[in-house]
Amino acid sequence: MTRWINSIGWLFCVVYATIPCFWLLVHPRAGYWRSQRYSPYLILLPLWLMMWIVTGFVSSYWRHATLYTASWTWAPAIALFVVGVRIYSLSGQHFSLTQLGGLPEVLPQHGEQRLVTTGIRSRVRHPIYLAHLCEMLAWSLGTGLAVCYGLTFFAMLTGALMIRMEDRELKQRFGDAYREYRRKVAAILPRI
């Protein structure tokens, strides 16, 4: 049973660790993707799938290496899962599915170009990335797998780079309104 749960945690972290890399393909080239006649997702989604395969292949060697085995670690892990799901839920409020899917970033003349600064976004600019981090930390903590911790660390590094690029792209799109919002609201960890 433990091996099965650990495998799910590893695969989950493989997919989630590639999310910032996916967006690193989008944000620096948002203008390019918007200029295309075809849907950029015809290229982006297969590239993301390839990232899963490569990340899974590269990390598979360490998928059974455990740093610790302790059943009590699942208690804080479950708390992190719950927090992550709650943040996902709050992130969906005041934000459309097209915004969640990144359509305004990549589709030309996309009608919905609005800066959302209400709800959870009044406390944190990138709540979905915070939810991703909670979920990855939960799997890392619960399974004790070195590979989950490594993939979480990788996601944090690439995520920090991606957030910088996304902030730059949002400044171009929303100008002074985004600059002021960025000045007042933290990127990932809410200010107390």
Any bridge partners for residue 124, and if so which? Answer: 186
User: Tens of pLDDT along 125-183?
Assistant: 999 999 999 999 999 999 999 999 999 999 999 999 999 988 998 898 889 999 999 99
Q: Which pLDDT tens digit goes with each residue over 29-61? A: 878 888 888 888 899 999 999 999 999 999 999
pLDDT at 147: 97
Dihedral angle, C-alpha 12, 16, 22, 27, nearest 10 °: 160
Tell me what pLDDT residue 35 has.
84
- Between 160 and 108, where is the model more confident? 160
Coil, helix or strand at residue 156? helix
State the average pLDDT over residues 62-68.
Answer: 94
Tell me the average pLDDT of the chain. 90
**Residue 101 pLDDT > 60, yes or no?**
yes
The first and second tokens of residue 73, run together, are: 């670690």
Could you give the angle at which helices 41-59 and 2-17 cross, rounded to 10 degrees?
140
